[in-house]
C-alpha cells in the first residue's frame, strides 16, 4: 500500500494569503485518527487527499463538481478526497475552496498494463445501429447516477469486498477486444462462480438497476457525497431503486450477463464522477 504523502508546495504558497479560511498541511493528524480513510494515490484513476483548515465545513469543487470533504479529528480540520479519472493527464490541477481560493496538486503518471480479450459475440465488439441507440440511452441513465450529490448522511470512506472472488482483471487495464482498442478498464473484476452472493460494500441507496447492453444486469448504489458504486454482469438482482441497503446486505448474485468472457463481478467505484480504483476504498 503506498504511503500517502501530501505533496505540493503550492498549497503552502496559497495558504499565505488566506481569505476567510486558513489552509494548512495537517495530514499527519488524519492518518492516526481516521484509520479507515481512503488511500492517497495521486495518479489517473486514483485519489488525492488534501488537508485544510476552516472554521466551517468547506465546500470544495474540482472541475466544477463538488468533492467529498471529511471531518478531521481536531477542531477546524478537514480533508478533501478528490477522485481523478483515468482520462486525466499527469500535471498540475487545482480544487476551489468555498469559491474563494484554490489549492493546487500534482497528478503523477502511472503505466497501466495492457490486456487483450477475445469476445465471440461480434455485436458486443461492434454493436449495430439499434444497439448504439440502446447503449446511449443506458449510458445516459448511468451518467445521471454518477453525477448525483446527496449529503443527507455522513460520508462513506471504506468498503468491504462485495463478493468472495479472485481478482481476474485489475483496475485501469488498457484494453483491446478482439485486437480493437476500447476504453480502459474502469473497475475491478472479481471472478466467482455463477450464483455467488454480491453484497453492498457499505451503506447506500439503490439509484438504478437494469439489464444493460455491455454491463448486463446492473445495480448502482449511491453512498452519498459523490461516491457511487456499480455492480455488473449479475445473474440475479435482489434490490429495487429506492432501497436503502447496509454494508453486507444482499444485492444479487455473480453472473455472466452482458459483455463477459466468464462469470465475474465487475465492480466500479466513482468519486466526483471519476471512476477510481476500488482498492483505494478497501479497508486493510
Q: Which is nearer to Zn ion, 155 or 184 (CB)?
A: 184
- For residues 25 and 2, give the distance between their C-alpha atoms in angstroms, rounded to a whole number: 19
Q: Give me the 9-48 binding string for Zn ion, x by CB under 5 A, dash otherwise.
A: ----------------------------------------
Name the minimum Å distance from CB 156 to Zn ion: 22
Enter the C-alpha cell of residue 170: 485489475
Nearer to Zn ion, 187 or 255 (CB): 187
Give how many residues touch Zn ion by CB under 5 A: 3
The residue nearest Zn ion at its CB is 266
For residue 71, the minimal CB distance to Zn ion (Å) is 33
Query: In this chain, which of 205, 225, 266, 275 binds Zn ion, going by CB under 5 A?
Result: 266
* Residues within window 180-209 making contact with Zn ion, judged by CB under 5 A: 187, 189
| Nearer to Zn ion (CB atom), residue 77 or residue 169 | 169
Q: How far is the CB of 173 from Zn ion (least distance, A)?
A: 9
Residue 233 interacts with Zn ion (CB under 5 A): yes or no: no
Q: Which stretch binds Zn ion (CB under 5 A): 27-35, 107-115, 261-269, 271-279?
A: 261-269
In whole angstroms, how close is the CB of 218 to Zn ion at the nearest point?
Answer: 12
Q: Which residues bind Zn ion (CB under 5 A)?
A: 187, 189, 266
Amino acid at each position: 500500500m503506498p504511503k500517502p504523502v501530501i505533496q505540493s508546495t503550492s498549497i503552502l504558497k496559497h495558504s499565505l494569503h488566506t481569505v476567510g479560511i486558513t489552509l494548512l498541511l495537517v495530514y499527519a493528524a488524519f492518518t492516526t485518527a481516521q484509520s479507515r480513510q481512503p488511500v492517497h494515490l495521486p495518479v489517473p484513476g486514483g485519489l488525492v487527499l488534501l488537508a485544510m483548515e476552516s472554521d466551517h465545513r468547506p465546500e470544495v469543487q474540482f472541475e466544477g463538481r463538488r468533492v467529498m470533504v471529511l471531518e478531521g479529528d481536531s477542531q477546524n480540520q478537514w480533508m478533501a478526497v478528490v477522485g481523478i479519472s483515468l482520462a486525466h493527464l499527469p500535471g498540475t490541477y487545482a480544487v476551489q475552496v468555498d469559491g474563494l481560493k484554490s489549492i493546487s496538486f500534482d497528478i503523477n503518471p502511472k503505466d497501466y498494463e495492457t490486456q487483450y480479450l477475445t469476445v465471440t459475440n461480434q455485436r458486443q465488439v461492434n454493436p449495430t445501429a439499434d444497439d448504439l441507440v440502446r447503449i446511449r440511452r443506458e449510458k445516459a441513465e448511468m451518467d445521471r447516477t454518477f453525477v448525483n450529490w446527496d449529503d443527507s448522511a455522513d460520508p462513506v470512506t471504506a468498503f468491504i469486498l462485495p463478493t468472495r472472488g479472485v481478482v481476474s482483471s485489475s483496475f485501469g487495464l488498457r484494453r483491446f477486444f478482439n485486437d480493437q482498442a476500447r476504453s480502459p478498464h474502469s473497475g475491478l473484476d472479481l471472478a466467482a462462480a455463477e450464483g455467488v452472493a454480491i453484497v453492498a460494500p457499505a451503506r447506500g441507496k439503490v439509484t438504478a438497476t437494469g439489464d444493460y447492453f455491455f454491463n448486463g444486469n446492473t445495480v448502482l448504489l449511491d453512498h452519498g457525497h459523490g461516491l457511487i458504486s456499480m455492480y455488473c454482469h449479475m445473474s440475479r438482482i435482489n434490490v429495487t431503486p429506492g432501497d436503502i441497503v447496509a454494508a453486507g446486505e444482499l444485492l444479487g448474485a455473480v453472473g455472466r450477463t452482458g459483455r463477459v468472457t466468464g462469470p465475474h463481478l465487475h465492480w466500479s467505484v466513482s468519486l466526483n464522477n471519476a471512476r477510481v480504483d476500488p482498492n483505494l476504498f478497501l479497508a486493510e
